[in-house]
Amino acid sequence: MRREAITSAIDSRSGAGLSPAQQRRGMRYIYLGSSAGAVLIMLLIRSGFGTLFIKHLGGSDGLAMLLGATVGFARIVQIPVSLRVHPANGKKFMLRCWTVYALTMAAAAFFPVVMGIGASTARAVVLTVFVAVAIGQSGFTFWFPILHDTIPADSRGRFIGKMRAWWSTSVFVAIVAAGLFLGKSPATWRFQVVIVVAASLVMLRNYFVSRIPVVAESGVDQDDFGDWRKHISNLLRRKDVLIFCGYFAIVGLCIGFLGQPLVLYMRYMGFPTNENIIITGFTMLGTILALLIGGQLVDRIGTKRVFVATHLLLCVVCFSAVGIGMLPRNQARFLMPAALILAGAARAGGFLACTTQLFHLTPDRGRAFFLCLANILIFVGPSAAPLVAGGVLSAVSADWSTTVAGVELNVFQIMLGLSGLTLLAALTLLRFVKDIRHTPRFPQ
C-alpha cells in the first residue's frame, strides 16, 4: 500500500504546473493538432499510398519497403536532440522542425518533374523522405513530454484513445479520398497533389500546437537534462522498463508485417492502385472503432488484458490473410477489408496500452531522453518488418512458393504465418509485464 501511494503521488505530479482549465484547453488543441498533422506521415509511411507511389516511380519492392522503415530508424535522432536542446526551448524547436519537415516532404513530391520517372527518382524520393522524417522526428522529441505534462495521470488511457480516434478518423477520410482521387492508373501529378495537400495540414497542426499551454518553470529536467550517463544508468536499473520494451518490440515486429508488406501482397494478388489504397485504409477504420472504447478499457480493465486481446486478434488476422490469398480476387476484395479492420483495432489497442504503460514508467527526471529511448526500443519493430520483408523479396522472387503441410504457400503467406506463430509465442512474455490501471478523475 505504501509503495502504491508513493507511485500515485509521483504520477499525479504530471502536469502539476498546469491548472485543470489549462489542461483541458491544451487537450483540445492536441486533438486538433494531431488530427491535422498525422495525415502526411500516415499516407506516405503507414498506408499503401507511399508504397504505391514508389512503385509508380519505378522503384523496386525493396525500395518501397524501405520507405516504411524510415520512421522507426529516424527516431534515433531524438536521442542527441533530447541531450542538446534545453527542455524550456523544446516547443519552439519542435514547431521549427515540423515546418522544415512539411516543406521538405512537399519538395520531394516534385522530383519527378525535374528528374523524370525512373528508379533514380524513386531512390531520391525515399532518401529525401527519410531526411524529412528525421527532421520531423527531431521535433517529436518534445511532443510526448508535452502530452505527459498536459494529460492527467488518471485519464491517460481515455484521452490517448480519443486523441488517436480523432486523428485516425482524419487519416481514414484522407486515405479514402486519396484512393478515389488517384483512380486505377493514376498520373504522377495526382500523387503530387495529395502530398502537397497533406503537407499543408502539417502547417495547420503547427498553429494548433503553438497554442497548447506548457509549464513555464518546471523544476524537472532543467539542470541535468543532458546527463546521458546518468539517464542510461537509471534506465538499466529499471528491469520493468527493459522487459516491457523488449516484449513490445517483438509484438511491433509482427504488427509491421500487416503494413507495407501486406500492400505488396495485395498488389501481387492483382488489386489495382485505388482498391489497394482504400482497402488498406480499412485499417484506420478498425483503429477508430477500437479507440472509441479502447481508452476507457485501458483505464478500467488494465493494460495487460488489452495486450492479451491484441495478441489474439493479430494472430487471427495473420492466419486469415494467409487464407484470403488463396481465394479468387472477387472474394478476397470483400474479406481483406474485414481482416484489416480487425488488424487496425488490435494495433490501436496494443499501442494505446503501450503508451499508457510507457507514461506510467516515465521517471521524474530525464523524461525527454527516457521517452525517446523507450520509443526507439519499442517502435523499431514495426519499422524493421518492412526491411525484413524487403530483404526476403530481394533474395527470392515474389512468385516463389513452397509446400507446407501439403499446402502451397507463397513468400508473403509464409511471412504472415510466421508472424502469427511469433505472436503466440510472445504471449508467454506477458507474465513479466506489470498491469497498469487507473480510474478517470474528470471527463475529457
Identify the CA nearest to 68 among candidates 95, 49, 92: 49
Specify the higher pLDDT residue, 71 or 324: 324
Least confident of 24-33, 92-101, 238-247: 238-247
Specify which residues 407 forms β-bridges with: 404
- Statement: residue 379 has pLDDT above 80: no
- What is the phi/psi pair of residue 192, to 5°? -65, -40
Specify the higher pLDDT residue, 223 or 390: 390
Angle subtended by helix axes 329-361 and 303-324, to nearest 10: 160
Q: What is the mean pLDDT of residues 405-420?
A: 88
Report d(CA 15, CA 153) in Å as an integer.
Answer: 8
Residue given cell 484521452 in the structure block:
159
Q: Which residues 6+ apart lie within 8 Å of 199 measured at CB?
A: 40, 102, 103, 105, 106, 109
Mean of all residue pLDDT scores within the chain:
81
Q: What is the pLDDT of residue 191?
A: 93
Least confident of 255-259, 290-294, 440-444: 440-444
- Statement: residue 441 has pLDDT above 50: no
Grid cell, residue 433, equals: 509485464
- Statement: residue 70 has pLDDT above 70: yes
How do 407-410 and 401-404 pair as beta strands? Answer: antiparallel
Q: What is the pLDDT of residue 17?
A: 67
Identify the CA nearest to 260 among candidates 150, 352, 392: 392
Q: What is the mean pLDDT of residues 140-155?
A: 81
H/E run at residue 408? strand 407-410
Q: Angle at Cα 429 formed by Cα 425 and Cα 431, nearest 5°?
A: 130
Grid cell, residue 138, equals: 527531431
H/E run at residue 402? strand 401-404
Q: What is the pLDDT of residue 4?
A: 40
Rg of the chain over CA atoms, in angstroms?
Answer: 21
Q: Which residues 6+ apart lie within 8 Å of 317 measured at CB?
A: 258, 339, 340, 342, 343, 346
Provide the pLDDT confidence category of residue 442 given band limits of 50, 70 and 90: very low
pTM of the model: 0.68
- Sign, CA dihedral 138-139-145-151, equals negative
Identify the CA nearest to 83 among candidates 272, 229, 204, 227: 227
Q: What is the mean pLDDT of residues 190-215?
A: 92
Identify the CA nearest to 257 among candidates 66, 32, 420, 134: 420
Q: What is the mean pLDDT of residues 69-96?
A: 82
Report d(CA 306, CA 299) in Å as an integer.
Answer: 10
Identify the CA nearest to 299 among candidates 444, 143, 144, 170: 444
Specify which residues 367 forms β-bridges with: none
Report d(CA 9, CA 238) in Å as an integer.
Answer: 19
Grid cell, residue 8, equals: 500515485
- Statement: residue 436 has pLDDT above 80: no
Residues 373, 235 contacting (CB under 8 angstroms): yes
Give the pLDDT confidence of 3-30 residue by residue, as tens digits.
444 333 334 444 446 788 888 888 899 9
Least confident of 112-121, 215-224, 238-247, 420-429: 215-224
Provide the pLDDT confidence category of residue 257 given band limits of 50, 70 and 90: confident
Q: Angle at Cα 130 formed by Cα 125 and Cα 132, nearest 5°?
A: 95
Give the pLDDT confidence of 285-310 residue by residue, as tens digits.
888 878 777 767 777 788 888 888 88
Provide the pLDDT confidence category of residue 39 given band limits of 50, 70 and 90: very high
Q: What is the mean pLDDT of residues 220-245?
A: 68
Render the burial of 289-312: b for 16+ CB within 10 Å, e for the rest: bbbeebbebbbeebbbbbbebbbe
Report d(CA 2, CA 90) in Å as an integer.
Answer: 35
Least confident of 11-15, 98-102, 243-247, 259-263: 11-15
Least confident of 54-58, 328-332, 418-422: 328-332
CATH, domain range 20-213+227-432: 1.20.1250.20
- Statement: residue 2 has pLDDT above 60: no
Q: What is the pLDDT of residue 10?
A: 37
